[in-house]
Structure 1
């Protein structure tokens, strides 16, 4: 059974994080502590574990998340490849393939500056999830497939998973999903917000160095929040479809370099969402393009069922191939 051992942290009894479940032989002489989707080996007593600095635990969790991102990449690529292959085969069958098909992988680190939660939205206790999951950078991955029908019309598919977890304490007791979580005691938290999008773009201006386009997108969200404290555990899941507006701008700095602005968003009395990226892209040659940039994702929902508003910041690097 594969296990990955992490370096010891100075002045901490946290010793390693295991990809697989730990066996009885593994935990002989140590204490096994479960966090969402991972196992931490802790060479100490339960009281000593609760006394551990939350930042120390977060550092171990973040290291684990970087390893998990690598294994998740294979699964995510397979799922997206199925979607993209349907599009790809359909385009080949129409003979329109030469018009322009490209795939892009985006990765980097993401951090939360805000993640306020209250569930139910009208009667739950409002708290900041970052007190539990931390504000350290977490690895992320996005996958895109775009088909350019002609110079004016294009369709893009996006797979954008997001998951963070951690362990921390809250300064006040919290009522979450009809369960009470006590202040000052460790709480395990898991926050997931996966989205799947289909975007249509109409390029209405393309002259000189400038290119501008507008369109619309349909977003499917798969969100879940879980809190666990001792024997108390509560989970809130939410799946829904959200319509978005789309905007695109490009300024060509040279034959190879371009500055790109890509925005999708919407607003309503019940919530809002904005996903905006500013990137510097460079044509590497032979159909390959590399880019560096910044992305921000802000928004949430406010209703009787859910209150959740987040603000995320991404440092991104992407690689694109155009056929």
Structure 2
């Protein structure tokens, strides 16, 4: 992470021919989760898929990214992406979570929070009228919390940590206004994996503003000594990107 910060500061200190600031505001609906498997602690807890056991309602989300672009190819960006998904219903079996047992067939609420803060450097290898393709590195700070609650019990487990990711971007504009885009951060290891990927269409409102519409998926988790968590979250996303 220190190397990424040093690289960003070095680039900001360069005398540049051309620099831009871009603001990317994204919102939409979290439609649901294909799975959200939790076992806390990993030894002694109950493995439960709250996406299968409980109900979740669509939820509005938002994300904000600020991008500093140097000479049309070097991108330094900061992302703020908060998210909390609420599940409710009844477990079909007793569930042991964080040293507390939640009995079957009793109303329970689970709040799954996964806030993300990221600093990214990306270099565009291809940057022309029709194509933009790039890759880079992302330093991600994960601020996660899982809370189980019923009428008589309330317990939570939180986790704060650093995750390095590979950033990628591929955009194609076959016409002056319309385009296709896929971008994201992803990386896997023996202990776990993380993917945050958007795919969709873009439409140019003018020289300095673009709309985007598509699908976003956040998937991943960890299997370590303290916890076992893996989830898949589906988003319908719309956003506006403005350059200054």
Give the TM-score normalised by structure 2. 0.89
Q: Which residue of 2 aligns with 1:104?
A: 24
Work out the CA distance in 1 between the residues paired with 2:128 and 2:204: 19
Structural RMSD (CA): 2.1
Q: Which residue of 2 aligns with 1:165?
A: 86
| Larger strand percent | 2
Of the two, which has the highest radius of gyration? Answer: 1
Deviation at 1:306, TM superposition (A): 1.0
Deviation at 1:242, TM superposition (A): 0.1
Work out the CA distance in 1 between the residues paired with 2:69 and 2:180: 19
Q: Which residue of 1 aligns with 2:51?
A: 130
Deviation at 1:131, TM superposition (A): 4.9
Work out the CA distance in 1 between the residues paired with 2:85 and 2:128: 43
Residues 256 and 282 in structure 1, CA contact (< 8 A), matched pair in contact too = yes
Residues 293 and 315 in structure 1, CA contact (< 8 A), matched pair in contact too = yes
Match of 1:197 among 107, 115, 118: 118
Deviation at 1:176, TM superposition (A): 0.5
What is the CA deviation profile of residues 201-221 of structure 1, one whole-angstrom value per residue up to 9, with x for unaligned ones? 011123462221110100101
SS at match of 1:285: coil
CA 1:97/1:234 → structure 2, altered by over 3 Å: closer, same or farther? farther
Q: Which residue of 2 aligns with 1:178?
A: 99
SS at match of 1:124: coil
Structure 1 runs of 4+ aligned residues shifted over 4 Å read: 93-98
CA 1:94/1:151 → structure 2, altered by over 3 Å: closer, same or farther? closer
What is the CA deviation profile of residues 113-157 of structure 1, one whole-angstrom value per residue up to 9, with x for unaligned ones? 111111001221011222565243211101011010112211111
SS at match of 2:106: coil
Match of 1:152 among 73, 77, 92: 73
Work out the CA distance in 2 between the residues paired with 1:250 and 1:286: 16
Q: Which residue of 2 aligns with 1:242?
A: 163
What is the CA deviation profile of residues 179-205 of structure 1, one whole-angstrom value per residue up to 9, with x for unaligned ones? 111011111221100000011101112
Gaps of 5+ in 2: 1-7
Gaps of 5+ in 1: 1-86
| Larger helix percent | 1
What count of residue pairs does the alignment treat as equivalent? 233
What is the CA deviation profile of residues 85-131 of structure 1, one whole-angstrom value per residue up to 9, with x for unaligned ones? xx9xxx7x998696111101101111211111110012210112225
Q: Which residue of 2 aligns with 1:11?
A: none
Q: Which residue of 2 aligns with 1:270?
A: 191
